Copies of this chain bind each other. A is one copy, B any other.
Amino acid sequence: METPTAAMLVIGDEILSGRTRDSNMHHLAKELTQAGITLAEARVVPDAHARIVAAVRALSGDYTHVFTSGGIGPTHDDITADAVADAFGTPIGVRADARALLVAHYAKTGTELNAARLRMARIPEGATLIENPISAAPGFSLHNVHVMAGVPAIFEAMVASVLPRLRGGPPVLSRNLRVEVPEGEVAEALGAAAAVFADVSMGSYPFIRAGRYGTNLVLRSPDAARLAEAVAHLHATLPAPAVEE
């Protein structure tokens, strides 16, 4: 069974200007790994129609899934829904099912469903709504693109409602070996192991703790037995003791 791939598209001037630190990419990366979907690329683009359209077209062609965050609120700079519709040449307008969600939500709080808020019911034809348990205004899935809010609490809730719908591959398992010597000391043994175990991904991540250099070696594979063999190989060949964490 082939492992599905995914791209993340973060939409928002505030990320690129440094005003806001994106946290959605890291959340999605962890969730996709657990779901057996490989996050293969991420991009951040500004609130600019042509840029969103181009990125959606490129990524939706290259990967099994695309997840977007940001730009689906009520203000003039919320242009993601229209851009995603345009990327596929799909008509978009206020949809009755989305409007009904907003009507019910605002009725509870006695808030007016004004023209700005009604923009949040603009959904491309044929898209499937993504539930928003926090503030009602839905996301949507159009073809292989899943459009979600940028506010982290809402993004995370939407990811939780979309992921169970998608087919994952075998989850990628990971093992972490920590050695208390610098990267330059383990590089040779690690490179040799990576050549022997070409099917196991091996990453090397240096750290400095209390003034001493160390290295985390991360091994990843969907095959637990191969992972165990690779870990045993490293224990036998590394020039310093490794502790599994």
Q: Within 8 Å of chain B (Cβ to Cβ): is A75?
A: yes
| Cβ 8 A contact of A74, one of B21, B32, B41, B187 | B187
With a cutoff of 8 Å between Cβ atoms, the chain B residues found around residue A15 in the complex are 25, 29, 42
CB distance B116 to A188 under 8 Å? yes
Contact with B along A23-65 (1 / 0, CB 8 A): 1011011111100001111111111000100000000000000
Tell which of A83-91, A161-169, A201-209 binds the partner: A201-209
Q: Say yes or no: B14 contacts A205, CB within 8 Å.
A: yes
Nearest-CB residue, chain B, relative to A6: B16
Q: Are B45 and A191 interface neighbours, CB within 8 A?
A: no
**Proximity bits, A106-120, B CB within 8 Å = 1, else 0:** 000001001111010
Please name all residues of chain B whose beta carbon is closer than 8 Å to the beta carbon of A32 when the two chains form the complex.
18
Q: A17-B174, A41-B43, A117-B184 are in contact. List 18 more A-B contacts (CB 8 A).
A: A14-B218, A15-B25, A17-B172, A17-B220, A18-B26, A18-B28, A18-B30, A18-B33, A41-B44, A41-B51, A73-B204, A74-B183, A75-B186, A76-B195, A76-B202, A77-B202, A115-B188, A116-B183
Q: Please give the residue numbers on chain A whose beta carbons come within 8 Å of chain B beta carbons, in ascending order.
A: 10, 12-23, 25-26, 28-33, 38-47, 51, 73-78, 111, 114-117, 119, 151, 172, 174, 182-188, 190-191, 194-195, 201-206, 218, 220
Q: Can you give 9 contacting A-B residue pairs, CB < 8 Å? A: A13-B203, A15-B29, A16-B39, A18-B39, A19-B203, A73-B206, A75-B191, A77-B203, A116-B188
